[in-house]
Amino acid sequence: MTIPFLSLMIFLPVVGMAIILLMHKEKHVTAIRWTANIVAGLVFVLSLLALTAFIPGNPAMQLQEGPTPWFAAAGVVVNYHLGADGLSLPLIILTTLLTFLCTIYSWRITHRVKEYMAFFMLLEVGMLGTFSALDFFLFYVFWEISLVPMYFLIGIWGGPRREYAAIKFFIYTLVGSLAMLLAILALYFHSSPHTFDMIELARQTPLASHFWVGVLAFWGFFLAFAIKVPLFPFHTWLPDAHVEAPTAGSVILAGVLLKMGTYGFVRVCLPILPGPSRMFAIVIALLALVSIVYGALVAMAQTDLKKLIAYSSVNHMGYVMLGIAAAAGITWPGNPHAFDAVSRTTALNGAVLQMVTHGIITGALFFLVGVIYDRAHTRDLASFGGLAKQMPVYAGIMMMASFASLGLPTLAGFVSEFLVFVGAFGTYQIITGLAVIGVVLTAGYFLWMIQRMFFGDLNRQWAGLPDMDPGELVAVVPLMVLTLAIGVFPHPVLQVINTVSWSVVQHLGQALGLG
């Protein structure tokens, strides 16, 4: 008998939430925290156990559950269908790990703990569901479920402008997902037989023969995913949301929720809408370039540490999008029939790996911002200085995370960015060449940040700041270990990703009658 790992992982937090809601909000605060910790821990363990049932070299969907008929009514058939492949599994593990670390870190939340933990559990349900759903109905349900708790996490436990940031986040992402809903319906009604099944839709590519519907559907999905990524110019909700969100909220937002957008591009746009994806890849590539350069420049201009990291996400997610665009795009300048599967696979490998590494590194960076903010109650870079002596452990970890983020070899960020650039160069020479400027700028703003925070004279105000405590270390150190591990030996992760990238690119080529 096979264990339904994915269902267990998705529904265990539901149980956790129910238990938490039944507890008393004041008398059982510690029990509530423990429940959240234990549930998130169990889900993490389950995700690791799922790995044992996973065959890395197999590009097909594994750990499949279903398709089981959910309901078939008034001519619409919906199935319960979950599965994971080399694209989703790393993201699932990233989700369970970050959620677990966040529940540990969130012991310091003392305000309305019961609601906080309940929303956190619900958030995990939405995220894991999104990455495992293989039926569009289910996908959409989970996609939307992840939206609501984050709205409350920002709005209740956030900073001074939390209400504005929360509603902005909510409206932006909801507009996107509603556009996606229309696109999903368009796919459904053009498939034959009508189906919401993502695998079957990828096989049928139902809109290949309906040019304009295909174009509209693509832009529907594009809007949903681009807002989530966020791709310039849809990124304006992100700095607000990140800056106002509580630490754990920012970690999840940057670490996981943004990946739902890029995941969507790889899971939905490339396989199901190969034609429009190829046609409009150049638009994505150009927007990615703007995101990279503009994100880096704006990050450089920040005086608020958290905003700097937030804009660095715009910058880094740009690399992911560049890799995805390069995997699909028409070779530039040039030959519409050229289809170099190897470099495209490399670009996609880089993009997917970057999703994972960005999740790990930026997750760590946001934890670290939380650490200093908890102590200093400010994130103003100008007010820091000389902290390296005062908080050596913190300084060391922060520097390591920053170096990982700016792409120093032997750390995880380097591998993924390198692959993106190598791969993307095969499709878009000029754009990729220009995008490399982003790397220089990234190095610039991180180094400048380190200098402003840790070197020079210590501001007397911070003479009494303690270094990191065990609770914080437990949350951050695992991420740093992973960063180093993937940086030095990326092979196991890449192997998992590569099989899927290769098959996505092959599928794309076949669907378009190329290569």
Alpha-carbon separation of residue 85 from 10, 64, 350 (angstroms):
16, 9, 17
Near another protein by CB under 8 A: residue from 5, 105, 120, 188 = 188
Contact between 26 and another protein by CB under 8 A: the answer reads no
CA distance 216 to 236: 24
Q: CB under 8 A: which stretch of 144-152, 244-252, 367-375, 391-399 binds another protein? A: 144-152
**Tokens 């990326």 belong to residue:** 490
Closer residue to another protein (CB): 75 or 333: 75
Contact between 76 and another protein by CB under 8 A: the answer reads yes
Near another protein by CB under 8 A: residue from 182, 399, 408, 447 = 182
Near another protein by CB under 8 A: residue from 23, 29, 49, 178 = 178
Closer residue to another protein (CB): 112 or 507: 112
Contact between 389 and another protein by CB under 8 A: the answer reads no
Alpha-carbon separation of residue 7 from 2, 12, 128, 129, 294 (angstroms):
12, 8, 9, 9, 40
Residue type for 6, please?
Answer: L
Contact 77, 196 (CB under 8 A): yes
Tell me the two tokens of residue 183: 């696109």
Checking 334-337 for CB contacts under 8 A at 24+ apart, the result is 337/514
Contact between 299 and another protein by CB under 8 A: the answer reads no
Contact between 252 and another protein by CB under 8 A: the answer reads no
Contact 479, 361 (CB under 8 A): yes
CA distance 266 to 85: 12
Tell me the two tokens of residue 479: 């991420």
Helical residues (DSSP H) of 301-386, grouped into ranges: 305-328, 341-376
Near another protein by CB under 8 A: residue from 128, 166, 201, 321 = 166
Residue type for 57, please?
Answer: G
Contact between 218 and another protein by CB under 8 A: the answer reads no
Contact between 72 and another protein by CB under 8 A: the answer reads yes
Contact 221, 187 (CB under 8 A): no
Contact between 337 and another protein by CB under 8 A: the answer reads no
Closer residue to another protein (CB): 189 or 489: 189
- Supply the DSSP symbol for 430: H
User: Measured from the CB of residue 513, what is the shortest distance to another protein in angstroms?
Assistant: 28
Q: CB under 8 A: which stretch of 156-164, 278-286, 338-346, 368-376 binds another protein? A: 156-164
User: Measured from the CB of residue 77, what is the shortest distance to another protein in angstroms?
Assistant: 10
Spatial CB neighbours of 452, under 8 Å, sequence gap ≥ 6: 381, 382, 384, 385
CA distance 80 to 167: 31
Quote the Cα angle for 455-461-464, to 5°: 90
User: Measured from the CB of residue 79, what is the shortest distance to another protein in angstroms?
Assistant: 13
Contact between 140 and another protein by CB under 8 A: the answer reads yes
Closer residue to another protein (CB): 220 or 255: 220
Near another protein by CB under 8 A: residue from 170, 234, 394, 414 = 170
Near another protein by CB under 8 A: residue from 81, 162, 228, 452 = 162
Closer residue to another protein (CB): 21 or 474: 21
- Residue-wise burial string across 178-202, b where 16 or more C-beta atoms lie within 10 A, e elsewhere: ebbbebbebbbebbeeebbbbbbbb
Contact between 1 and another protein by CB under 8 A: the answer reads no
Site for another protein (CB under 8 A): how many residues?
A: 38
User: Measured from the CB of residue 130, what is the shortest distance to another protein in angstroms?
Assistant: 12
End-to-end CA distance of the chain: give it in Å, rounded.
41
Contact 361, 506 (CB under 8 A): no
Contact between 211 and another protein by CB under 8 A: the answer reads no
Closer residue to another protein (CB): 139 or 263: 139
Closer residue to another protein (CB): 57 or 75: 75
Contact between 151 and another protein by CB under 8 A: the answer reads yes
Contact 198, 186 (CB under 8 A): no
Near another protein by CB under 8 A: residue from 48, 71, 233, 489 = 71
Closer residue to another protein (CB): 20 or 40: 20
Contact between 81 and another protein by CB under 8 A: the answer reads no
Near another protein by CB under 8 A: residue from 7, 49, 144, 203 = 144
Contact 66, 182 (CB under 8 A): no
Tell me the two tokens of residue 325: 């665009």
User: Measured from the CB of residue 74, what is the shortest distance to another protein in angstroms?
Assistant: 4
Contact between 210 and another protein by CB under 8 A: the answer reads no
Contact between 124 and another protein by CB under 8 A: the answer reads no
Spatial CB neighbours of 223, under 8 Å, sequence gap ≥ 6: 175, 176, 179, 180, 234
Q: Is 24 helix (H, G, I), strand (E, B) or coil?
A: coil
Near another protein by CB under 8 A: residue from 19, 66, 103, 115 = 115
Contacting positions for another protein (CB under 8 A)? 21, 25, 71-76, 112, 114-115, 137, 140-141, 144-145, 147-148, 151-152, 155-156, 162-163, 166-167, 170-171, 174-175, 178-179, 181-182, 185-186, 188-189
